[in-house]
Structure 1
Amino acid sequence: MSARELRDRTVARVRSTMTTAMRADSRALDTLAERNPDGLDACTLTFLRTGRTLTLATSAALTTILGAHRYGRDPYDRYVCLACGIERCRTVRAVSDVLAAYGIRMYPIDRPEAWGRADAWYADAAGHPVLLSIESFDEGFIARPATSPPSVPDRGLVIDRDTGALILWPAYDTATLIGQYHAYKNSTL
């Protein structure tokens, strides 16, 4: 695996972990801790109450680190880590090894969740529910209103499969939008 592929995979793991924590219902965790059905000890209860926030904070910190340790061309036209100046970044390798050691995997967004996120976005933009079409592609989903209400932009909303991020795009045809999104993702890694 190339150094860039390792970084891309590590970034995807961190984003997936952050997305999983964002999906967790903090009120449900608090309710579970308050009810304490299994007689959990104080340390476990504290972790139950703070684990989501801790995961989000740790994921944000790792995202910052991986943002600095990205690959590009140096002044000598070598492909290196822009933070370290070396071809195989030890920081990226260490983060990747730790995530692997703890069994951190990617949990991609599925079609129903993509629809739910798009439905919430379009309903908020229009002020009422909007009938949607959802198209799947390798890197995510494209949501479009079946008929565009005047209050909703006639655009494609992309839901990233790995992160769940929503990005509004111009009203390109599907093939063009997929190509543009692929180029965008490659430029931000």
Structure 2
Amino acid sequence: MTSGHGAVHEWVRRRVHPVVTAALRADSHALGAALAVPSGGGLDPHTSDFVRDARRLVLVCATGLTAVLELHRPARDRSGRDVCRACGAVGCPTLRLVAEVLAAHSARPAPIDRAEAWRRADACLVRRPVPLDVREFEHGFVARPAAGHDKDRRRPMRWPG
């Protein structure tokens, strides 16, 4: 479904999913270590507390939005109209409000370029350092060991593990 409720649902999903992914990839121990620097890196106590708890707070909020998305999924009613599965509305007010808030705060998927894909793949392969070949495809990037460094180059690597 690409119109009506389905389009709004997909728009919101494309903004919430990267938030969950980014928070899951963040290293809470590294955040704590950065704040353990004398004087907390020059941060006031309230900001230090926020940074220390940011990963957890983002995960809680984004997971809550994911639950809203799961409940307010698109469906077809008996007449074939695109409606909200939870409230049956053609234009779900809950999802519309979430979309308005995300738009007001310019929430958008974080762009991943070739350099960022390379950095992420390299960071995930620290235990098995190999030269990488990072290539772009329609939906993003794929990282593989460079030719001559893997006996079976047909196996794709999933990262982070």
TM-score by length of 1: 0.64
Q: Gapped runs of 5+ residues in structure 1? A: 160-164, 167-189
Structure 1 equivalent of residue 55 of structure 2: 52
Structure 2 equivalent of residue 107 of structure 1: 110
Higher relative contact order (CA 8 A, sep 6+): 2
C-alpha RMSD of the superposition: 3.2
TM-score by length of 2: 0.73
Q: Could you say if the C-alpha distance between residues 119 and 75 of structure 1 is closer, same or farther in structure 2, counting changes exceeding 3 Å?
A: farther
Q: Is the CA contact 2:82–2:90 (under 8 Å) kept in the aligned structure 1?
A: yes
Q: Is the CA contact 2:8–2:96 (under 8 Å) kept in the aligned structure 1?
A: yes
Q: Gapped runs of 5+ residues in structure 2? A: none
SS at match of 2:98: helix
The count of residues paired between Structure 1 and Structure 2 equals 155
Question: In the TM superposition, what whole-angstrom CA distance separates every residue of 1:151-188 from its partner, at most 9, and x where no partner exists?
Answer: x7x344578xxxxx88xxxxxxxxxxxxxxxxxxxxxx
Q: Which runs of 4+ in 1 moved over 6 A?
A: none
SS at match of 2:42: coil
Question: In the TM superposition, what whole-angstrom CA distance separates every residue of 1:71-100 from its partner, at most 9, and x where no partner exists?
Answer: 132333222122222221112111112222
Q: Could you say if the C-alpha distance between residues 131 and 4 of structure 1 is closer, same or farther in structure 2, counting changes exceeding 3 Å?
A: same
SS at match of 2:83: strand
Question: In the TM superposition, what whole-angstrom CA distance separates every residue of 1:35-93 from its partner, at most 9, and x where no partner exists?
Answer: 3232503x332212111111012111211211222213233322212222222111211
Identity across matched positions, percent: 39
Structure 2 equivalent of residue 84 of structure 1: 87
